[in-house]
Amino acid sequence: MKTANWERNLLDLIRRTSTDLPSDIEAGLRKALRSEKKNSHGYWVIRTALDNAARARGEDLPICQDTGTPIFHFRVPVGFDTNALVAVTRGAVSRATRRGYLRENVFDAVSGKPFYTNVAPGSPVIRIEQGARKTVDARLILKGGGSENVGTQYSLPDERIGAGRDLEGVRRCALDAVWKAQGAGCAPGVLGICIGGDRATGYECSKEQFLRKLSDVASDRELARLESRIVRDSCQLGIGPMGLGGRTALLGAKIAAMSRAPASFFVTVSYLCWAFRRRGMVLGPEGGLTRWLY
Amino acid sequence: MKTLDAPFTEAKVRQLVVGDLVSLSGTIYTARDRVHRHLNDGGILPVDLKDGAIYHCGPLVIRRDQSWAVRAAGPTTSMRAEPYMAGIIRKHGVRVVIGKGGMGESTRKACQEAGCVYLDAVGGAGCVAAACVESVGAVHFMEEFGAAEAMWELSVRGLVCVVGIDSAGHSLHADVLASSAARLQDLFCLA
């Protein structure tokens, strides 16, 4: 493996993810601006968010100081040296931290001591999938802590919100999660929802939904309908941008379903803030950049 | 838009009303999870917060030549400081708390009784906030807590916020929470 090539391009992936808001999210924010009343708090929040996106891109600055947990998703050819890939990814994370694209954001959970490079047990998160392909597909999400804290998991039936084991129950879980989050997740965000799975895979699958573009709809027609219904309903809660009141509480909702055991019916809801940092690139076998995804 | 300049006296702070847009200038001190816990536990406060401002923020700062460069400095979620905030406001005479997402009942009461306001900055807008930082003064607790949890002395100009909790006992967040709870029940009925 040509380490220098890989590390340089993965560093660029981190830099761009941290500084350059994806165009689908920016378009979603522009649409939200049109729906908020002029001179309202919601309008002010969205306008500031758009100013911030332009400034971050123009001046090569991180969109948000909380550069969160870096979550890498790789798809690699069969037989690819994944150990070497993990090593260069860690190297790129460390360099991106030194250059100020990532905050020193990882601490020992017991002693509280900082790890200065963001390379530590459990950080960065790296998922690798092998498949019949010639290139490497590298995607990155920087998931902020505020949005991570408002993620939640329901075990249905849930009497408190009257949610049974059906899609109406899923709708109630989603709306309850948006209501509980109020402004703390940095609304308007995007929901990633997984129906089924176990407690661990449910969260994993719900977060994978953030790899989908805002315009992407679930292939299942019922789930696709539910996705738009949840966005429509959430915007009637009056929570608005940053929970200061207004019309836009969500930019999107993405749902996926897995299998489940008879005893369990989990609905897992993950939240990603409006500072939705997600980028991807396709790399050749030697680590050269072929093209950007998103 | 109203302006709020240091020193943040009780008289100035008492004039602000929930929902006001405010442009703030002066010295503010970042404090987040670790600093709040430290102060709550009776730890030493290295600065004077009388008529001062606390900013719930863990900035992204890098060393450049002999000084610090603040690359992003938006607010962090304030609610995590709720168990400690009221005590800190009362004990140290803090007049302004800046953060995001609002705070709870005990902070609302402390703001009313002690004469303090809570201001919402725009979460996620890290470089817009960083652009308001004119200079970086001393940094405290750097060794123990790390850069993101340290207490940074930031001199800011024109940091725009909205008043989330005023000193008359009003909370924008409590209002939104209550009205959205009622709408949630309505939406549940529309199965």
Coil, strand or helix at A199: helix
% of chain A surpassing 70 pLDDT? 100
Overall average pLDDT of the A97-110 stretch? 96
Residues A12 and A88 in one domain: yes
Residue range A113-162, pLDDT digits in tens: 999 999 999 999 999 999 999 999 999 999 999 999 999 999 999 999 99
Residues A264 and A153 in one domain: yes
Coil, strand or helix at A196: coil
CA distance, residue B190 to nearest chain A CA (Å)? 10
Residues A115 and A209 in one domain: no
From chain A, the residues in CB contact with B72 under 8 A are: 61-65, 103
Contact (CB, 8 A) for B108 and B171? yes
Residues A197 and A260 in one domain: yes
Overall average pLDDT of the A60-81 stretch? 97
Residues A137 and A228 in one domain: no
CATH number at residue A83: 3.30.360
**B-contacting residues in A 29-88 (Cβ below 8 Å):** 41, 44-45, 48-49, 51-52, 55-56, 59, 61-67
Residues A79 and A207 in one domain: no
What DSSP string runs through B126-188?
HHHHHTTEEEEEEEESHHHH-TTTSEEEEEEEEEEEEEEE-TTS-BHHHHHHHHHHHHHHHHH
Q: Which residue has the tokens 């993810």?
A: A17
CA distance B73 to A83: 35
* Interchain CB contact of B177 with A (< 8 Å): yes
Residues A162 and A245 in one domain: yes
pLDDT at residue B52 tops 80:
yes
Residue range B5-17, pLDDT digits in tens: 999 999 999 999 9
Pick the closest to residue B98 from B14, B184, B31, B40 (CA basis).
B31
For residue B125, give the nearest of A52, A113, A184 by CB distance: A52
Q: What is the ipTM of this complex?
A: 0.96
Residues A198 and A100 in one domain: no
Q: Per DSSP, which regions of chain A are E strands?
A: 69-77, 106-107, 114-115, 125-131, 136-143, 152-155, 189-195, 250-257, 266-272, 277-283, 289-293
Residues A98 and A188 in one domain: no
Domain ranges of chain B: 2-189
Mean pLDDT of chain B: 97
pLDDT at residue B65 tops 90:
no
Q: Does B122 contact A48 at a Cβ distance shorter than 8 Å?
A: yes
CATH architecture of B2-189: Alpha-Beta Barrel (3.20)
Q: Does B184 contact A179 at a Cβ distance shorter than 8 Å?
A: yes
> Per the domain annotation, does A32 fall within a domain?
no
For residue A56, give the nearest of B21, B100, B127 by CB distance: B127
Residues ≥6 apart with Cβ < 8 Å to B86: B106, B107, B109, B110
Q: Which amino acid is present at A168?
A: E
Residues A136 and A234 in one domain: no
Residue range B77-130, pLDDT digits in tens: 999 999 999 999 999 999 999 999 999 999 999 999 999 999 999 999 999 999
CA distance, residue B188 to nearest chain A CA (Å)? 7
Residues A9 and A133 in one domain: yes
pLDDT at residue B191 tops 80:
no
Domain count, chain A: 2
Q: Does A48 contact B125 at a Cβ distance shorter than 8 Å?
A: yes
Overall average pLDDT of the A16-29 stretch? 98
Q: Does B127 contact A52 at a Cβ distance shorter than 8 Å?
A: yes
pLDDT at residue A2 tops 90:
no
From chain A, the residues in CB contact with B150 under 8 A are: none
- Looking at residue B190, its pLDDT comes to 84
Rg, chain B, Cα only: 17
> Per the domain annotation, does A241 fall within a domain?
yes
Mean pLDDT of chain A: 97
> Per the domain annotation, does A253 fall within a domain?
yes
* Interchain CB contact of B136 with A (< 8 Å): no
Work out the end-to-end distance of chain B between its first and last CA atoms, rounded to an integer number of angstroms: 43
> Per the domain annotation, does A25 fall within a domain?
no
Overall average pLDDT of the B136-148 stretch? 95
Residue range A257-291, pLDDT digits in tens: 999 999 999 999 999 999 999 999 999 989 999 99
% of chain B surpassing 70 pLDDT? 100
From chain B, the residues in CB contact with A107 under 8 A are: 146, 149
> Per the domain annotation, does A39 fall within a domain?
no
pLDDT at residue A82 tops 90:
yes
From chain A, the residues in CB contact with B161 under 8 A are: none
pLDDT at residue B64 tops 90:
no
Overall average pLDDT of the A178-184 stretch? 97
> Per the domain annotation, does A46 fall within a domain?
no
Coil, strand or helix at B49: coil
Q: Write out the residue range of the structural domain in which residue A197 sits.
A: 146-272
> Per the domain annotation, does A29 fall within a domain?
no
